[in-house]
């Protein structure tokens, strides 16, 4: 794919990217795909997927109480527990608003540790990273923002998101469909949105504008971006996913270059379709 060379124009010191199909075929890469980058909030989908595996294994259920009073695993995954952004204190009752919360994902990991009897980082490594061969991926800090990884490892994860092997297809569909529809909220870096649709740990593209994906991204597109200048998106209608990692903090530069990059990738994908 020629479109992946677009990252050469990004105002960053280092960047790497890849496009992978639902069948796991890597259609294109650019940059050093073995270089380790901080993921920031791209950590959250990894934490969410470990939680989904725990649900499949019977460690917890989506309706298991967790977090502030009245909150469940489902609320924590969907950013509707009412917890503040970084503080472990409730700002509103569960289910009222979409309050994007790092604290919520930390309490999610705490709940999984409590119910499994295994430290979350160990559980995640054993249940998710090892089966997918993600040897360079580590959780070194908060389960909301403290992972590091490579494009190669995240390609394996992006392929798993499209064709699940560690969880049931039904579970994956639920996680990447809107949960608690109609709630308004703030998409960090892009402002207040109504609705602010999320699944279980994954942001849903829907018809949000502005957005960090492309203008031609399908409404079913899901994924996450991170404040370290990173993103992963999956577009089911395109039958592909894209990973991009950089070493420059998210800012106006990213909001400017990411959407046209995604549109270029999607345009080339359409041209490759027989």
Q: List, for residues 74-122, the tens digit of each pLDDT value.
A: 999 999 999 999 999 999 999 999 999 999 999 999 999 999 999 999 9
Model confidence at 187, pLDDT cuts 50, 70, 90, reads confident
The answer to whether the beta carbons of residues 88 and 106 sit under 8 Å apart is yes
Distance CA 63, CA 65 (A): 6
Over residues 161-178, the pLDDT tens digits come to 999 999 999 999 999 999
Residue 247 domain boundaries: 3-272
Cα–Cα distances (Å) from 206 to 159, 195, 274, in that order, read 21, 9, 27
Burial of 190 (0-12, 13-18, 19+ CB in 10 A): middle
Model confidence at 273, pLDDT cuts 50, 70, 90, reads low
Q: What is the strand order of the sheet 203-204 is part of?
A: 26-30, 15-21, 240-246, 230-235, 222-226, 203-204
- Of 46, 51, 226, 31, which is closest to residue 154 (Cα–Cα)? 46
| Candidate from 70-74, 133-137, 193-197, 216-220 with smallest mean pLDDT | 193-197
pTM, to two decimals: 0.96
pLDDT higher than 60, residue 183: yes
- Residue 226 φ/ψ, nearest 5 degrees: -130, 155
CATH of the domain at 49: 3.40.710.10
Within 10 angstroms of residue 23's Cβ, the number of other Cβ atoms is 10
Task: Say what the pLDDT of residue 167 is.
Answer: 98
Over residues 196-211, the pLDDT tens digits come to 999 999 999 999 989 9
The mean of the pLDDT values for the chain is: 96
- Of 142, 154, 119, 118, which is closest to residue 33 (Cα–Cα)? 154
pLDDT higher than 80, residue 6: yes
pLDDT higher than 60, residue 274: no
The 3-state DSSP class for residue 230 equals strand
Give mean pLDDT, residues 149-155.
98
Q: How many domains is the chain built from?
A: 1
Task: Say what the pLDDT of residue 190 is.
Answer: 85
DSSP run (H or E) holding 154: helix 151-162
């Amino acid at each position: 794919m020629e479109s992946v060379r677009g990252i050469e124009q990004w105002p960053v010191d280092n960047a790497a990217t890849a496009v992978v199909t639902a069948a796991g075929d890597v259609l294109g890469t650019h940059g050093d795909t073995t270089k380790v980058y901080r993921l920031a909030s791209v950590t959250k989908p990894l934490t969410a997927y470990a939680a989904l595996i725990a649900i499949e294994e019977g460690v917890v259920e989506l309706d298991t109480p967790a977090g502030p009073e009245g909150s469940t695993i489902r609320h924590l995954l969907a950013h509707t527990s009412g917890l503040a952004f970084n503080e472990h204190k409730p700002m509103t009752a569960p289910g009222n608003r979409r309050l994007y919360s790092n604290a919520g994902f930390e309490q999610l990991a705490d709940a999984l540790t409590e119910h499994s009897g295994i430290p979350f980082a160990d559980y995640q490594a054993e249940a998710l990273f090892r089966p997918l061969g993600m040897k360079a991926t580590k959780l070194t800090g908060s389960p909301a923002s403290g992972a590091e990884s490579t494009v190669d490892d995240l390609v394996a994860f992006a392929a798993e998101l499209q064709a699940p092997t560690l969880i049931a297809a039904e579970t994956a569909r639920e996680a990447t469909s809107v949960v608690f529809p109609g709630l308004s909220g703030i998409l960090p870096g892009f402002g207040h949105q109504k609705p602010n649709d999320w699944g279980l740990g994954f942001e849903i593209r829907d018809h949000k504008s502005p957005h960090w994906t492309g203008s031609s991204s399908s409404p079913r597109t899901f994924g996450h971006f991170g404040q370290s200048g990173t993103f992963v998106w999956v577009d089911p209608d395109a039958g592909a996913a894209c990973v991009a990692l950089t070493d420059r903090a998210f800012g106006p530069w990213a909001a400017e270059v990411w959407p046209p990059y995604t549109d270029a990738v999607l345009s080339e994908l359409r041209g490759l379709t027989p």
